[in-house]
Structure 1
Amino acid sequence: MHSDTINSVLVVGGGTAGWLTAAKLAKSFNSLDGNSIQVCLIESPDIPTIGVGEGTWPTMRATLASLGIDEAEFLRTCHGTFKQGTKFINWQNASRPNQYHHLFTSIFDPTQFNLAPYWLQGDAGDLPYAQAVSAQARIAELGLAPKKITSKAYEGIQNYAYHLDAGKFAELLKSHAIDKLGVKFIAANVTDVSLDAEGYIEAVVTDTWGTVAADFFVDCSGFRSLLLGEALGVGFTSIADTLLTDHAVTIQVPYPDAAGPINACTHSTAQEAGWIWDIGLSNRRGVGYVYSSRHQSHEDAERTLRDYIGDAAAGLTARKLKIDLGYRNKFWHKNCVAIGLSAAFVEPLEASAIFLIEAAGNMLVDQLPSRRQGLIHAEKKFNASFHFRWQKTVDFIKMHYLLSGRSEAFWLDNREASSIPASLAQTLASWQQQVVSAYDFPHVYEPFPMESYQYVLYGMGFKPEQVNWQRYPLHAEAMAQFEKVQQVTEYLIKELPQQRDLLDRIYQYGFSTI
């Protein structure tokens, strides 16, 4: 007989998704108090964790702070560095060098004063869009940090996220969740799932711990989707006909000089059949090639990656991963919600994986009902919200490929009309008539804000064709704003330290006034 009250939550699967979700639940429901909701996590001792990525969004700062994790400890433990956006290299075409930045910080809020129409009319001269509206493009190019040693933890002079070692991050979350937040941990393999007469999960069966019952279950079992997919039979929608990359090959590259510079943003370099990420941690670079096996063999893909790395790749081991692009038809069903790879996965182009884990954990904490009869309402809201968020994420990533002028087969196939979501096609058509504005983003849970679209659209050379420019008469004001951006940029270049120098001091001293 099931309990009508939700007093216990069982998370199946560890990694970033499992431990971050367990930590959020335990923190919010005060699992250290024996009278509150108890959180337990089962993790297999035999299955290696699949790292969902080494890049985060700025939201991670609030997440870590809310869990009570010290920023300096996090950076040290996870070989963490500061990320200030992404630099896209050779995405526009393959015939001549080109680049643009998708940043985290603009000087002015575009929903208050939208500088894009004035940049499009030439009021910023020949400056690239990112440099015209933000100091962060040049700061990142120079390898500068977004803050000083005197900055408070989790606060920055420029907005920032992190690059991190995903394995080390999961370990940090695990120890913090168990030792500080009261999460119970079971190391075992789940061998079966028991359902009650109404089709709700009542328990999981393990190989070494027997049967483990709970009132609510979180599926963080990775691509297998052990609970939501296998036990509850929720189907999977592939998006392989929209996003064409289906494999990745990765290599960890040591620095030739342990005291050398660290990239201040992710580098994303377009290739014949995909793109290469290059992420700077404090102790190494994480480099990987995301590609389409329909357009390039696995052997050629690995050769492409090694050519990109150069002589340093000699003797280094490459790891190949298959990517299942798509999402579950429902993310929450009855008394089970899937978070992480068990729910959905899109390619890592915009580092959305960990952000969507954060977002799912936040909504679960806010919407988990106290009684079983409330599950149906929470399920409906959660599924509607995350179908919207995943579709928007797919559209945003696809837009990068759609705007490219590269002529290799992979890139041409990405621009085939049959591969373009109707929602994206309609949006881009509207932006031929109107510049991007706040009216295009009415939903409170848009995963990518207005600024993100502007950075990518105008960085890639998108120009609206039929805008009535007479509605933008504030040329003098706009030019003054563009000038102010350049003044702030020059000031910050003098004030901010090199990323490596700041991290060395944080690793040694933490944040202080020394």
Structure 2
Amino acid sequence: MNQHLKHIVVLGGGSAGWLTASIIAAEHCCNSPNGVKITLIESPDVATVGVGEGTWPTMRQTLSRIGISEKIFFRECDASFKQGSQFRGWVNGSDTDAYYHPFVLPEGYFEANLHNYWRRQFRGASYADTFTSQTHLCKKGLAPKQMATPDYAAVVNYGYHLNVGKFGQLLQRHATSKLGVNHILDHVTGVNSADNGDIHSLSTHNHGELKADLFIDCSGSASLLLGKHYNIGWRDCRPYLFNDRAVATQVPYSDPEAPIASTTISTAQNEGWIWDIALPTRRGVGFVYASEFTSDDQAEQNLREHIERDTSENIFSSLNIKAIKFDPGHRHQFWHRNCIGVGMSAGFIEPLEASALVMVELAAEMIRDDLPTNREMMDYTARRFNEKFLYRWDRVIEFLKLHYVLSQRKGEYWNAHRNPESIPESLSEKLMLWKHRPPSELDFDRKGEVFPSASYQYVLYGMGFNTEPRSTYKVSDNDATIEKFIAMNRQKLTKYINALPSNRAMIKHLLR
């Protein structure tokens, strides 16, 4: 119980396994004789399934902390900038139906009640457009930084779009060559228990027994340790969010110098939605849907029609189409005894708002920061970890559901999403509250919230939600303050437009 934790085994590679191993190894001196030893084992035959091609701004700090140059990251991962998400057709499907969820806070967000002013003075204009410059930069295809801006620094906040397969390969090379992570390609043939119920070791085909003090399950949806060995239950989230399928492909640019969008474009369809992620060399496009409402053949036809309408070319038959099945939900526990599930072994809801990679980051960072020094501390650490991530998964479900609940689109799929029985109670209560006041940081008061209150405001008011102002609202002082913020925002925008390069020009500079 009091022996020091000396060896961690990560089961599974891909972006989840290598990101987790790298984050822990960089902090705990894995390449030092006195550090924690980390071994990552993965099957040589099982291809990893990428969880997505979008990150949050948190990835900049993660990459910097583990020691990867941003220039190398762009070169090796076919990366581009992401400044938020754009939602098309989610309100009613009209030609003008579009709004943004940017990565910056509204100007003056913590200093004044922006909503009431916007509702009276700018109701015909977008909430995000009124109080941020970032949406305007996205419309103009401008980068979030200048060519002289240092690695990971920003003029406006940004994350990344990336080739997730290449990302896993970069992390593998960096973790093994720079961070001291031991890499084993082999088949795990058995899981061996200790007398107290912990995992004692993994049996392998060619490397004998792998003993460790802590095992991290990054084996994807198979969840070989947390799911199959420990039989930790699965919370099915289909009562709230119905999507469980996707068909995806990679679409080449007809013009190699075509502009590169810096938002994930999410376009609503009659029975689902389509993502469009722009990388420097191609676009990743996929249709997310629920098998309860749409057949696989119809889903592929919907994707075909969208691509051919968008590109004005009959290219679908030449593209490689990938079918993806997933069970939306998460484990009832994520850390059990000396085993932790990270990535899809812990949970996956759906690609909307790109929460998959950030949940890996958050889990790996908490393991890194709270890594128990011995077995005696582990159960206490596990309780904290489980409580934190049960809360986080609830917030992910709640925020994704918000997009569907507020839609006015017709049809069985959208009607089912608006059914009151499919809305989490916590979200129903918040929507009642937000009819009378805007979302605020008081509604989400935990450190490290997955989605801050500003994100809820962007979606609520982008979708046309109405918050009635209080009759006791004091106008004069608040209005004068907000007008200063709006003027400040306009000045920033003018400066940025004159100083920022296009996305493609900035990426070319990084690659040079």
What TM-score, normalized by structure 2, do the two folds share?
A: 0.97
3-state SS of 1:191 partner: strand
The answer to whether residue 455 in structure 2 is matched with residue 457 in structure 1 is no
Structure 1 gaps, min length 5? 509-514
Partner of 1:309: 307
Aligned AA (2:510): I
Secondary structure of 1:198's aligned partner: coil
1:207-259 CA distances to partner (integer Å, 9 max, x unpaired)?
A: 22221111100000000110011111211110011111110000101111112
Aligned partner of 1:235: which letter?
G
Q: Does 1:500 align with 2:504?
A: yes
Is the Cα contact below 8 Å between 1:107 and 1:485 reproduced in 2? no
Query: 2:287–2:303: 8 Å Cα contact kept in structure 1?
Result: yes
Match of 2:451? Answer: 448
Tell me the residue number matched to 1:386: 389
Tell me whether 1:116 sits opposite 2:120 in the alignment.
Answer: no
The CA deviation at 1:116 is: 2.1
2:473 alignment partner, SS class: helix
Q: Is the 8 A contact 1:106 1:135 kept in 2?
A: no
Other-structure match for 2:199: 201
Unpaired runs of at least 5, structure 2: none
After TM superposition, list the pairs within 5 Å mapping 1:196-275 onto structure 2. 196-275=194-273
Structure 2 CA distance for aligned equivalents of residues 10 and 81 of structure 1: 32
Which amino acid is the alignment partner of residue 486 of structure 1?
Answer: R
Task: Check conservation: 1:3, 1:215, Cα contact below 8 A.
Answer: no
Equivalent residues in 2 for 1:29-68 (5 A)? 29-68=28-67
SS at match of 2:38: strand
Instruction: Give yes or no for contact 2:2–2:376 (8 Å, CA) kept in 1.
Output: no
Q: TM-score, normalised by structure 1?
A: 0.96
Whichever residue aligns with residue 164 of structure 2, its letter is A
Match of 1:511 in 2: none
Structure 2 CA distance for aligned equivalents of residues 476 and 27 of structure 1: 48
The equivalent of 2:76 in structure 1 is 77
1:499: Cα distance to partner? Answer: 0.4
CA distance in 2, matches of 1:20, 1:208: 25
Identity, % of aligned pairs?
Answer: 41
1:340–1:472: structure 2 CA closer, same or farther, 3 Å change rule?
farther
Equivalent position SS for 2:372: coil
> Following TM superposition, where does structure 1 have runs of at least 4 consecutive aligned residues deviating by more than 3 angstroms?
465-469
Alpha-carbon distance in 2 for matches of 1:253, 1:54:
14
State the one-letter code of the partner of 1:404. Answer: S
1:136-151 matches, within 5 Å, as 136-151=134-149
**Using the alignment, how far apart are the partners of 1:125 and 1:341 within structure 2?**
41
Residue 435 of structure 2 aligns to a residue in which SS? helix
Question: Does residue 366 of structure 2 align to residue 371 of structure 1?
Answer: no
Are 2:11 and 2:41, in contact at CA under 8 Å, matched by a contact in 1? yes
The whole-number CA distance in structure 1 between the counterparts of 2:108 and 2:298 is 44
The alpha carbon displacement at 1:390 in A equals 0.6
SS in 1 for 2:286: strand
Matching residue of 2:398: 395
The aligned amino acid for 2:261 is: N
CA contact 1:432–1:467 (8 Å) conserved in 2: no
Residues 1:408 and 2:432 are matched in the alignment: no
SS of equivalent residue, structure 2 residue 154: coil
- Residue type of the partner of 1:492? Y
Is 1:21 the counterpart of 2:15 in the alignment? no
Q: CA deviation at 1:7?
A: 0.6
Match of 2:492 in 1: 488
* Maintained 8 Å contact 1:350/1:397: yes
Q: Measured at CA, do residues 499 and 233 of structure 1 come closer, stay the same or move farther in structure 2, by a change above 3 Å?
A: same
Q: Matched residue of 1:121: which SS?
A: helix
Confirm or deny that 1:340 pairs with 2:339: no
Q: Which moved more, 1:269-278 or 1:477-486?
A: 477-486
Query: Does structure 2 retain, via aligned residues, the 8 Å contact 1:39–1:184?
Result: yes
Which one of 278, 281, 291 corresponds to residue 279 of structure 2?
A: 281
